[in-house]
Amino acid sequence: MTTEDLSFVIVGHVDHGKSTFIGRLLHDTNSLNTDRLEELKAACFALGRELEFSFITDHLQEEREQNVTIDTTQIKFKTDKRNYTIIDAPGHKEFLKNMLTGASQAEAAVLLVDAHEGIQEQTKRHATLLHLLGVRQMMVLLNKMDLIEFRQERFDQLKTELLQFLKTIGIMPAHVIPLVAKDGDNCVLRSERMNWYTGATFLDALDQFTCKNDTAHKPLRYPIQDVYKIADKRILVGRVESGTICQGQEIVFLPSQKHTRVASIEVFGKTNKKEAAPGESIGITLADPLFIERGEIACAIDAPPPIAKKIEAHAFWFSPHAFEKKDRIRLKLATQDVQCQVEKVDRIDSSTLNTIEKDATLLHTAEIGKFILVPEKPLVLEPFDQIEELGRFVLEKDGEPCAGGIVVSTHGTL
């Protein structure tokens, strides 16, 4: 029985109720340690105080088993449909670094806004954060509706304002939901105090997001890792990054543009494998005797990716050495490895998310660069929000990894 996994990030000011919201979510999905919860509820009742969900969220680590394989803070809960992981975003800098370097990977985002405070600089900054990360699946939660007496007109006003602003940075939320995290309205259970709202509850909306697993339906992308000569077969090994590859399928190798058919799918110990799905490390043989090297990507012939001469990308510069525009850097994306020149770079402060300098000559440690990169050889890639496995890269200088980033868009394609 395989259940789907989905990880998402909750972005929002801590005072806007993030901790309380997470606590409520865990409580309502029965994800909290019951013994501990009973103990806390009894204490609250005996002292005559309300149970503060945010206190529970803030101290989950105390009860959780020490999971040594995880670097980032991850909070998990289950529903019938999926296993969810909330990726915590305590500070922008650490969070951006983790997200742009793959240390955490959120497939969706939730923007939490205090309805009473309205849309502030904070909100705009958080939305910018999501834009920088290329996270496209998102929803907005307007919390603390009780503080504005559950008024529909105010909600509609805020919603319009928000949608307008988000549009300017290319974000279209799938849902805008009014809720009260403290009391649970519209979190897991529908609110009885806002009958005018007929949209989804938070959990319903979350269940509607699509998982990474669905890359199986995207076009085929199979980057070649290496070529092995086994017996008298030339086996091209690699990992299916998106789509499915089947025996007999017509494919095109890019950037060389060579066409052929898949003669066989090779996996040791399986004699009759007809197809492979995303994530599988396999080998293939070809119908035609083509010379293919690492760096080539086998793609669906009817939906090939762009081959870019110029790339617009966002990257987190973590190297202790600053980057100079004239530096020669290498870009590593999937199995491609090319030298790049930087045509332009804007410097963004990773804590405040403000643009420090447009068209800069230097990029410092812990800054975000909005790059225009020109690879020496055309690169096969995808915008991160299309097929993320072909939209994320590492920048190296002198053999040292310096930055991790994502592709925003491609220019000048072949």
Partner 1 sequence: MDHLDTLENKSIYIIREAYKKFPNMGLLWSIGKDSTTLLWLCRKAFFGKLPFPVIHIDTTFKFPEMYTFRDHYAKEFDLNLIVTKNQEALDRGINYATHDAITCCDELKTKALKQLIVQKKFKAILVGIRRDEHGIRAKERVFSPRDEEFTWDYKNQPTELWDQYKSPINPNAHVRVHPLLHWTELDIWEYIRREQIPINELYFAKNGKRYRSLGCMPITKPIDSTAADIDAIIQELKTTKKAERAGRSQDKESAYAMQKLRSLGYM
Partner 2 sequence: MRRRNCCINTRNFMTRQLKLVILALDGLEYDYVTKFCYKQLQQDTFGKTDISAFELPRSVILWSSFLAGKNKEKELVATQDFWHASLPITETFFTAAKNPLAIDVPGFTYTHEQHDRERANMKEFFEGNTIRIEDYDKHVFAHHLKVKEQFFAALQEDKHDVIMAYFSVADVIGHLSFGITPKMRMIYQELDDIARTVKETYHGNVLIISDHGMFARGRFGDHTPYGFWSTNFPVSFTTPALTDFFKTLTALLTQKP
Name the DSSP class of 60.
G
Q: Give the nearer residue to partner 1 in terms of CB position, either 116 or 294.
A: 294
Q: Quote the tokens at residue 68.
A: 């040594």
Q: Does 144 bind partner 1 (CB under 8 A)?
A: no
Beta pairing class for 4-11 and 82-87: parallel
289 interacts with, out of partner 1, partner 2, none, CB within 5 to 8 A per kind: none
Subset of 280-309 contacting partner 1 (CB under 8 A): 280-281, 283, 294
CB 33 to partner 1: min, Å: 12
Among 5, 28, 52, 183, binds partner 2 (CB under 8 A): 52
Stretch of 22-30, 98-106, 145-153, 182-190 lying at the interface with partner 1 (CB under 8 A): 98-106
What's the half-sphere exposure (Cβ side, CA atoms, 13 Å) at 385? 19
Q: Quote the tokens at residue 350.
A: 């990773």
Contact of 186 with 176, CB cutoff 8 Å: no
Nearest-CA neighbor of 408 among 219, 240, 396, 393? 393
Nearest-CA neighbor of 172 among 123, 214, 130? 130
Among 332, 344, 364, 411, binds partner 1 (CB under 8 A): 332
Among 146, 185, 392, 407, binds partner 1 (CB under 8 A): 392
Q: Does 48 bind partner 2 (CB under 8 A)?
A: yes
| Overall size of the chain counted in residues | 414
Q: Does 400 bind partner 1 (CB under 8 A)?
A: yes
225 interacts with, out of partner 2, partner 1, none, CB within 5 to 8 A per kind: partner 1
> Tell me, what amino acid is at 182?
K
The 53-92 site mask, x for binding partner 1 (CB under 8 A), equals ------------x--xx-----------------------
Contact of 241 with 226, CB cutoff 8 Å: no
Among 239, 314, 347, 370, binds partner 1 (CB under 8 A): 239
- Based on its alpha-carbon atoms, the radius of gyration of the chain, rounded to whole angstroms, reads 24
Q: Does 279 bind partner 1 (CB under 8 A)?
A: yes
Among 44, 70, 303, 322, binds partner 2 (CB under 8 A): 44
Q: Give the nearer residue to partner 2 in terms of CB position, either 49 or 326.
A: 49
Q: Where are the alpha helices (DSSP H) in 61-187?
A: 92-100, 121-133, 152-168
Stretch of 132-140, 273-281, 299-307, 361-369 lying at the interface with partner 1 (CB under 8 A): 273-281
Q: Does 14 bind partner 1 (CB under 8 A)?
A: no
Name the DSSP class of 242.
B
Q: Does 228 bind partner 1 (CB under 8 A)?
A: yes
Q: Report the interhelical angle of 121-133 vs 152-168 (nearest 10°).
A: 50
Q: Is 122 helix (H, G, I), strand (E, B) or coil?
A: helix
Among 14, 30, 50, 261, binds partner 2 (CB under 8 A): 50
Q: Catalogue the E-assigned strands of 350-399.
A: 355-357, 362-363, 367-375, 379-380, 392-397
Cis peptide before 255 (omega within 30 of 0): yes
Beta pairing class for 307-317 and 367-375: antiparallel
Subset of 56-85 contacting partner 2 (CB under 8 A): 56, 58-59, 62
Among 38, 156, 161, 324, binds partner 2 (CB under 8 A): 38
Q: Where are the alpha helices (DSSP H) in 10-151?
A: 18-28, 34-47, 53-58, 92-100, 121-133
Q: Does 51 bind partner 1 (CB under 8 A)?
A: no
Q: Does 40 bind partner 2 (CB under 8 A)?
A: yes
Could you count the other beta carbons within 10 Å of the beta carbon of residue 349? 16
207 interacts with, out of partner 2, partner 1, none, CB within 5 to 8 A per kind: none
For partner 2, the binding residues (CB under 8 A) are: 36, 38-40, 42-44, 46-50, 52, 55-56, 58-59, 62
For partner 1, the binding residues (CB under 8 A) are: 2, 65, 68-69, 101-103, 225-226, 228, 230, 235, 237, 239, 266-269, 277, 279-281, 283, 294, 318, 332, 392-394, 398-401, 404
